[in-house]
């Protein structure tokens, strides 16, 4: 991996993490931005965000990734949270079917507050809990195909597909942005510094990850 100054980027994209409380959104964020995982992560209160830059084609794409609590009592921040988002990870816990049942409501809320061109990745997190699986790959894949979202299963604990998941979203957002003009000026002001990393390739980030995610 090659490094370059964090201020040196070609595109700045806001990506939001949504889903029920306890599905692992904060650990997905920390795994991607800092390569860290904590078993003692507490529920997020309010909003947190971190940044990381990757290379897509020959451009440096900087992601400003927002993470908020899934509890209903924090829903008042909805409008500000979604404003300007061009990508989203819709996360559920593969071991708790209720979190998957609520995905449809989260997706509706997301689409009610964002542009139609937003790139959405359905993420089945905690794939390491193989013995507790409650949501099959086939069920999730069928939902993703019906709603025209991307889909991957991840494990923040094992760092499984976390890199590929974020990279695929950013790659797809970049390709959307390269086809039209996006007004991202406001988002580029006073962005905290994050880890800036260049990926060698995005070829290993398939749009739909439906096999091989839980076999090892």
CA-based radius of gyration for the chain: 16
Query: What's residue 43's pLDDT?
Result: 64
Indicate which CATH number applies to the domain containing 186.
3.40.50.300
Within a domain: 5? no
Within a domain: 95? yes
Residue 76's φ and ψ, nearest 5 degrees, are: -65, -20
The token duo for 107 is 């997706």
Within a domain: 146? yes
Domain that holds residue 151: 11-195
Specify the 3-state DSSP secondary structure of 140. Answer: helix
Mean pLDDT of 155-178: 95
Query: What's residue 147's pLDDT?
Result: 97
- Of residues 5 and 117, the one with the higher pLDDT is 117
Q: How far apart are CA 55 and CA 10, in angstroms?
A: 10
The token duo for 193 is 């510094």
Confidence label for 44 from pLDDT (cuts 50, 70 and 90): low
Within a domain: 203? no
214 has pLDDT over 60: no
68 has pLDDT over 70: yes
Taken in order 60, 52, 213, 210, the sign of the CA dihedral is negative
Within a domain: 6? no
CA 109 to chain centre: 16
What's the structural domain count of the chain? 1
Within a domain: 190? yes
Specify the 3-state DSSP secondary structure of 170. Answer: helix
| Contacting residues for 80 by C-beta, under 8 A, at least 6 apart | none
Q: How far apart are CA 115 and CA 130, in angstroms?
A: 36
| Contacting residues for 12 by C-beta, under 8 A, at least 6 apart | 62, 64, 184, 187, 188, 191
Within a domain: 128? yes
Within a domain: 73? yes
Kindly report the average pLDDT of the chain as a whole number: 80
């Amino acid at each position: 991996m090659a490094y370059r100054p964090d201020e040196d980027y070609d595109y700045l994209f806001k990506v939001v993490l949504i889903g029920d409380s306890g599905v692992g959104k904060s650990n997905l964020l920390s795994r991607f931005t800092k390569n860290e995982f904590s078993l003692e992560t507490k529920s997020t209160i309010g909003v947190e965000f971190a940044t990381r830059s990757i290379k897509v084609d020959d451009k440096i794409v900087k992601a400003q990734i927002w993470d908020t609590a899934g509890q209903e009592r924090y829903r008042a921040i909805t409008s500000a949270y979604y404003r300007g988002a061009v990508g989203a990870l819709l996360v559920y816990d593969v071991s708790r079917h209720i979190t998957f049942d609520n995905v449809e409501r989260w997706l509706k809320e997301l689409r009610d507050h964002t542009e139609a061109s937003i790139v959405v990745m359905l993420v089945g997190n905690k794939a390491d809990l193989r013995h507790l699986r409650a949501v099959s790959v086939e069920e999730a894949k069928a939902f993703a195909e019906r709603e025209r979202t991307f889909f991957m299963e991840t494990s923040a604990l094992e760092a499984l597909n976390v890199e590929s998941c974020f990279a695929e979203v950013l790659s797809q957002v970049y390709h959307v942005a390269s086809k039209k003009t996006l007004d991202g000026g406001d988002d580029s002001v006073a962005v905290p510094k994050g880890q800036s990393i260049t990926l060698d390739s995005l070829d290993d980030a398939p749009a739909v990850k439906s096999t091989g995610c839980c076999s090892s």
